[in-house]
Amino acid sequence: MGKPTGFMEYPRQAPGLRPPLERIKDWSESHPPFAEETIRLQGARCMDCAVPFCHTGRILNGMASGCPINNLIPEWNDLVWRGQWEEALIRLHKTNNFPEFTGRVCPAPCEGSCTLGINAPPVTIKAIECEIIDRGFASGWVKPNPPLFRTGKKVAVVGSGPAGLAAAAQLNKAGHAVTVYERDDRIGGLLMYGIPNMKLDKKVVERRGQLMAEEGVQFVTGAEVGKNLPAAKLLTDFDAVVICAGATVPRDLRIPGRDLAGIHFAMDYLHANTKSLLDSNHQDGKFIDARGKRVVVIGGGDTGTDCVGTAVRHGASRVVQLEILPRPPDERAADNPWPEWPKVYKLDYGQEEAKALWGDDPRQYAVMTKRFAGEKKVEGLQLVGIEWLRAQGGKPVGPRELQGTERTLPADLVLLALGFTGPERGLPAELGLKLDERGNIATDEEKMTSVPGIFAAGDCARGQSLVVWAIQEGRRAARGVDKYLMYGETVLP
pLDDT digits (tens, 9 = 90+) for 200-231: 999 999 999 999 999 999 999 999 998 999 99
What length is written for the chain?
A: 493
In this predicted structure, the answer to whether residue 83 has a pLDDT above a threshold of 90 is yes
Contacts of 181 (CB under 8 A, 6+ apart): 156, 157, 158, 159, 160, 220, 223, 225, 229
264 in the same domain as 410? yes
Residue 286's pLDDT band (cuts 50, 70, 90)? very high
Please indicate, yes or no, if residue 1 is contained in any of the structural domains.
no
Contacts of 7 (CB under 8 A, 6+ apart): 44, 45, 46, 47, 116, 120, 123
Query: What sign does the CA torsion over 229, 245, 242, 208 have?
Result: positive
11 in the same domain as 119? yes
Domain range for 209 is 154-248+421-485
User: How much is the pTM?
Assistant: 0.96
360 in the same domain as 324? yes
Please indicate, yes or no, if residue 145 is contained in any of the structural domains.
no
71 in the same domain as 13? yes
CA distances from 178 to 98, 143, 246, 476 (A): 18, 19, 19, 16
In this predicted structure, the answer to whether residue 62 has a pLDDT above a threshold of 90 is no
228 in the same domain as 257? no
Model confidence over 146-189: pLDDT tens digits?
A: 999 999 999 999 999 999 999 999 999 999 999 999 999 999 99
In this predicted structure, the answer to whether residue 138 has a pLDDT above a threshold of 70 is yes
Model confidence over 387-416: pLDDT tens digits?
A: 999 887 777 788 999 999 999 999 999 999
Average pLDDT, the chain: 96
Please indicate, yes or no, if residue 149 is contained in any of the structural domains.
no
User: What pLDDT, on the 0 to 100 scale, is given for residue 1?
Assistant: 66
Please indicate, yes or no, if residue 394 is contained in any of the structural domains.
yes
User: What pLDDT, on the 0 to 100 scale, is given for residue 179?
Assistant: 98
240 in the same domain as 332? no
Residue 25 belongs to domain with CATH number: 1.10.1060.10
CA 316 to CA 296: how far, in whole Å? 10
285 in the same domain as 394? yes
Cβ atoms 441, 243 nearer than 8 A: yes
User: What pLDDT, on the 0 to 100 scale, is given for residue 339?
Assistant: 94
